[in-house]
Each structure stands twice: as C-alpha cells, then as structure tokens.
Structure 1
Amino acid sequence: MSLMIWTTMRSAALGLGNQIGVIDVDGVILSAETLNSQLRKFGDDSSVKAIILHINSPGGGAAASQEIYNEVLRVRKEKHKKVVASVESVGASGAYYIASACDKIYANNASVVGSIGVIMEWTNYGELLRWAKLKNVTITAGELKSAGDPSRDLTPKEQAYFQSLVDNMYTQFVHDVAVGRHTTEDKIKPLATGQVWTGQQSLPLGLIDKVGGFRTALIDTARDAGISGEPSIVRPARNRRGLLAILTDDGEDLFPNPSQLLNHAPGFYYMWK
C-alpha cells in the first residue's frame, strides 16, 4: 500500500498524470494509419488528459482525411477526452476536415484556414505516347471500366461520371464539417467554395473558435482539462529508420522508379493547392 501511495505521489509531482498529448499533422495527408494510431494511444492513456492536433497541412487524400476525422470523434465520445486543433500556418481542406471534428479550433491571425472542396486529378500522358509513337492498348468489359485512362481524354459520359463522384464527396465534406462545428449545412455551403481565409477572417465566419497560437491553445486546453500550473507535454515517439533498414529495402523511397509515374489511378483529394 505504501509503495502504491509513493508511486502516485511521484507521478503527480512529475506531472505524469496531467499531460497534454500533442500530435503533429504536417504536410500532405496520404494515410490515416499513423495519426489514428497516435490518437488511439493517447486516448487509451489515462495520464493524458487532453489532445492537441498541431496542424500545418494543406490536406490530402479524401478517404484518409475522413478516417482521421472519424477517429477524432471516436476518441472524444468513447474516451471522454477533449481534442483541440491548433493551426500553425495552414489548416486547409482535408486538414480543416480533421480540425472540424475537434472540440475547438485555434488559429493565428495570419493562418490559412478553410478550402472546403474536392479535387480529382491525374496526369494525361497521351501526347507523350503519340510523340514517342507508342500506342496504348486496353481491353475492358464494362462501359466505364477504363474511365480515367491517362492515355486519352475523357468522354462526356466519363466526365459526368467523375463529376458525380466528386459532388458526392463534396456533400460528405460539407455535412461532416457542419456536424463537427455544430451548425447546419446551409451555413457551411456558402463557405464551401474551395477558398481559404486568414485566421482573423475565419473567426466571424465560425470556421474557428479563437484566434491564438499553440501556446494559447495549450494553456486553454490544460485549464479546461482541470490541469493547474504549467502543463506537461507528451508527443508520440518518432519511428526512426536505421541505416540497415534503408539499405535492405527495395530502394523505392530513395530512388523512385520513373515507370511508377505512369501507374497512378485518378485520385480524389481534399487538398488546397
């Protein structure tokens, strides 16, 4: 019993029971796996009283952004922990999608926020094939099976088909932001033009909750979580790849195969460009 009391007192003195978990959301979001794993870890850790997503991202893949959005909502609901977004320079499109799932969104006056919209894109290399006197041969079953073939232009029917997919994803984006921001789709739609606003402009539009940097978000979150004094910050451990791992893999990360550039299917993105 005395050992347990001593351990509890020591943990409290070190601030181990009053930590704020900080997860960096940097760069283009291509996968939800790492961020969701970090959210789950902090959500399950009783010493972590709240989580801050420190965002500096233009967004990324539509599905990946959506997965992280849903994980934020799950942690808030099931683990009863506050999750707060702090936008540094950019919190746009898919990154804003994620932020909208948080309890609060903070941004600096000059931060870039918003860009609610969808992009579908791929590279059409048909002219390159013709220049090289190469001909793409495709055999399909299904009228739209080869829609998006990068060796040719879209037909009107294919254009309408892809537009319907983009429109559906756009509707999902608007709906989820409205749910996350506790408002209606009718109020979000006029803001869902794909454009961005500064943090200063975003506040009266209801896109963020408070103008302020990471420090402001940290102190406010700590107080809301019942932490007095200077909060202790904990970040996920970085996954460092050793030299042996780099030398023994297939080298694709270091020296991409140029042929892979011609092997990408059309992508759907919540991303500001």
Structure 2
Amino acid sequence: MSDDSRRDETDAPLGATSDQPQDRWTQGPEVAPRQHASTTAGAAGDSAETLRERQRLAQIEMMDRWVGGVLTEQRRSRRWKLFFRLLLLLVVLLLVASVVYNLYWSDPADAPPAQRHLAVIEVNGVIASDSPANAERIIKGLERASASDSAAAIVLHIDSPGGSPVQSQRIYAEIMRLREHSDKPILAVIEDIGASGAYYIASAADQIIASRASLVGSIGVIYAGFGFQDAISQIGVERRVMTAGENKAFLDPFQPLDEDAAAFWQGVLTQTHQQFIDDVRAGRGDRLSTQSEIFSGLIWSGEQGLELGLVDRLASLEEIAREEVGEASWEDYTPRLDPFDRLTRRFTQMAADALGVSASNSPLRYQAE
C-alpha cells in the first residue's frame, strides 16, 4: 500500500469507508481557531521567555489603561475647578460693577427733570428694617423729593399692610417735619392696601387719597405667637432655659403664659396702640370721625374710609398727576436697591414666608392680618 492511500485511510473519520460520500461540513481544509484577545495564555509550545514577554505586555497594557483613567479623571477635575473659578470671578466682577454703578451713576432723583412733576416715593410691602420699605430708604427719598425745585408735590405711593412700629414712627416723624418746613404738599396715595403701619405713615401727609376698593385703617397693634408646652412634653423633650431675671423668658413658647405675664404684655400692647392713636389724631386732626370703631383694628374700604375721615378723597395716581402737573407722569425718587442686596432680601423674605415667620425684628407689628 502506498503512503498516499495509507494517509487517506488515517484521515478518514471513524466508521467511514472510502466508498461512502464525504460530508462537506466535516471535510475540507482545517481552519485555525480564533485567537483570544488576551495574549497572556500564549500558545502550545511557547517557551518560558515568550510567556514572560506576553505577561509583561499585558501588564503594560493594564497600566496604560489605569494611567489613561487617572488622566481622564484629572482632566475632568480641572474642568470643574476652572468652572468654579470662572463662576467666582463672575460674582466678583458683578459685585465690583454694582459698587461702581452705585457710586458713579446717579439715581434718577439726583438729576430730576426741569419740568414740573410729581416726586413719588414707593412704599411697597412690609415695613421693616430688613425690607425694601425701610425707614432709612423712604426718608432718603423724602429728602431728595423735598430738595427738588421742579417737584410740584411729594407723593407717598403706598401699597403695604404695615409692619414695624419703630420704622413706621420714624417715617411718620420725618413727614410731619417736612409738613412744617417744606412748601410742597405731601400726598399719600393708597393703592390696594394702606393699613396699620402703612396708614400710620399716611396719616402724617397733608392728604390721603385712595381708590374706592382700597383697604385702609386697621389702627391697632398685634403680637402673635404659639404655645408648645403640651407638645414638648408629649414628644419627650426637655426644655432647658437659663436666665438672669425672673421674667426674661416670659414669652417662651414652650412655657405657659401666666396671668401676670399676660397682663404685663397686654399693657405694652395697649401703650403702643395709644401711641398709634395719638399720632393718627395729630396727623388727621378734626377730619376723623368720632366713632370709636376707627381705632378698634378694623379695616375699611376706601369708600367707607372717606365717610369716616380716614381718607380725604377718592382718586388715582394718574388723576392726581393730571391735576398737579397737567399730565399723567411722575418721577420715582425712591433710592435704588443694590442688586445683591435685593437678591439677599428676596431670599430672606422667601425663607421667612416658607417657614411662616415674620421678617420683622420686632415682635409687635402695626400690620393687617
């Protein structure tokens, strides 16, 4: 038998004969198996040196991947650092621009127009030391308006429920001073509401003007708090308060308010209320009605207020402007708020509203509820 025939018999599959037809799926040239991506396993017959070289290459590849990941993370970290640095730089630039703007660019009231006009000071929102309607800002606007030669009248444009007694008293005193020393009429024009501390301010003006549906009055003082003495015992919390002075913590909401403390605090409220009444009477004079309900804390419409002497007439700011200067236009003398200060105040007010607390520093309020 020749070598070729002997090779054919050897290569034939088990159980097959040379007479049987060959299967095209099992017969044919041998295909090399797919090489695995990893080179660490090596191949049969590789020497120890080859295997070590393959392992070294695999380690180098792993190290390259690790170094690549570290570099990617560092680049990402540098990008974030750059972003925050740019953000900080932007904030600083805005702060500097705000300071420069307020120092070198004047308010509209610093350069009033030559033609006659109404000098308007806005009293918007709660009257408090930390709100836009604070005494310092409004008094500054009053001083600017009083110094303007072309201002036909000073107008307090009020849309406020009231607020701090002290801030209201400061503004009231300044308006009363201007009534004596300024030749310009001072008008209080009430929009939606001019109640409590806002009415306190308005009562110092020469005239109070409102719309028929405006809310005016609410001449009273309020203190509001909570009593948690029962709740704190139910949840098992011990209240620890140390004072020097036996009545220092008499308004502590976690302690019951005894009769003596309540009587004392009511006396403070009554005295503050009497200050309110006296100043309103001084400002309004005999225009006020003699009805005792005026000082009971009730709030009235503009139309009702006209009958009670709380309001002098019913008109709008546009009508007043036409009467005084011939056209419905005016100049705003309210000092500008710093942009950052405005943002801070708004955030503080939003936080106070969300927590349900008053933004005023005083526990007493001339404020409509």
Q: Does residue 357 of structure 2 align to residue 271 of structure 1?
A: no
2:275 to 172, 183, 208: 172
**Where does the alignment leave 5 or more consecutive residues of structure 1 unmatched?**
1-13
In structure 1, C-alpha distance between the alignment counterparts of 2:199 and 2:349, rounded to whole Å: 30
1:49 aligns with 2:152: yes
Deviation at 1:78, TM superposition (A): 2.2
- Of structures 1 and 2, the one scoring higher in RCO (CA 8 A, sep 6+) is 1
Change (3 A) 1:262 1:219: closer
Higher helix share goes to which structure?
2
Q: Check conservation: 2:161, 2:195, Cα contact below 8 A.
A: yes
Q: Percent of aligned pairs with the same residue?
A: 33
Distance in 1 (CA, whole Å) between partners of 2:260 and 2:215 is: 36
Partner of 1:22 in structure 2? 120
Q: How far apart are residue 230 of structure 1 and its match?
A: 2.6
| Whole-Å separation in 2 of the counterparts to 1:264 and 1:15 | 36
Alignment match, 1:234: 331
The 8 Å contact of residues 124 and 151 in structure 1, kept in 2 or not, is answered as yes
Aligned length: 251
Q: Output one character per residue of 1:216-269: Cα deviation in whole Å (capped at 9) or x when no partner.
A: 23334x2xxxx4x336511134324159x96xx8x9738859999699987101
Distance 2:361 2:215 in 1: 30
Which stretch of the first structure deviates more once superposed, 96-105 or 23-32?
Answer: 23-32
CA RMSD of aligned residues (A): 3.3
Distance 2:330 2:245 in 1: 54
Corresponding residue number in structure 1 for 2:197: 94
> Distance in 1 between the 2:359 and 2:260 partners?
23
CA distance in structure 1 between the aligned counterparts of 2:136 and 2:271, rounded to whole angstroms: 24
TM-score by length of 1: 0.79
On the 8 A contact 2:159/2:191 being kept in 1, the answer is: yes
Residue number in structure 2 paired with 1:136: 239
Match of residue 70 from structure 1: 173
In 1, the alpha carbon distance for the partners of 2:359 and 2:330 equals: 42
Separation in 2 of the partners of 1:59 and 1:242?
25
Task: Indicate how the Cα distance of structure 1 residues 163 and 267 shifts in structure 2: closer, same or farther if over 3 A, else same.
Answer: same
How many angstroms does 1:166 deviate by?
Answer: 0.4
Identify the range of structure 1 (229-238 vs 193-202) with the bigger mean alpha-carbon deviation.
229-238
Aligned residue identity for 2:201: I
Give matches, 1:1-273, under 5 Å: 15-31=113-129, 32-127=135-230, 129-183=232-286, 187=290, 189-220=292-323, 222=324, 227=325, 229-230=326-327, 232-235=329-332, 236-242=334-340, 253=348, 256=351, 267-273=363-369
Q: Is the 8 A contact 1:118 1:269 kept in 2?
A: yes
The one-letter code matched in structure 2 to 1:46 is D
After TM superposition, the score normalised by the length of structure 2 is 0.60
Secondary structure, in 3 states, of the residue corresponding to 1:64? helix
**Which whole-Å CA distance do the structure 1 matches of 2:361 and 2:238 have between them?**
19
Q: Secondary structure at the match of 1:181?
A: helix
Unaligned runs of 5+ in 2: 1-111, 130-134
Give the direction of change, closer, same or farther, for the CA distance of 1:185–1:158 in structure 2 (3 Å limit).
farther
Comparing 255-264 and 20-29, the one that deviates more: 255-264
Q: Deviation of residue 188 (structure 1)?
A: 6.3
Report the CA distance between 1:98 and its aligned residue: 0.7
Kindly state the Cα deviation for residue 111 of structure 1 after the two structures are TM-superposed.
Answer: 0.9
Contact 2:137 / 2:335 at 8 angstroms: preserved in 1? Answer: no
Q: Which moved more, 1:143-152 or 1:108-117?
A: 143-152
